Amino acid sequence: GHVKQELKQGVVQLASLVAECPSCLESAKVYDLLRAVPGYGPVKANKLLSACRISPIKTLAGLTARQRRELTQALER
């Protein structure tokens, strides 16, 4: 959808999407969103997810509070 376009263009930051978890993105896979961010290929996306102990098939709504916090922090680095 258009969110991935916005991520690609840097209009929106994934960290803020993860923190807010807008209802339109609840079913979006975290991995797919990561891949839309410039500079994140499959390897880098998987590394970040495993560093935060998040399964690649997790949806945005399915993240625990800890996962959400860790992912937000990792993305802001």
Interval 1-24 mean pLDDT:
90
pLDDT in tens, 43-64: 999 999 999 999 999 999 999 9
Do residues 72 and 15 lie in contact, with contact meaning Cβ atoms separated by under 8 Å?
yes
**pTM of the shown model:** 0.88
Residues contacting 63, CB < 8 A, separation 6+: 18, 21, 30, 54, 71
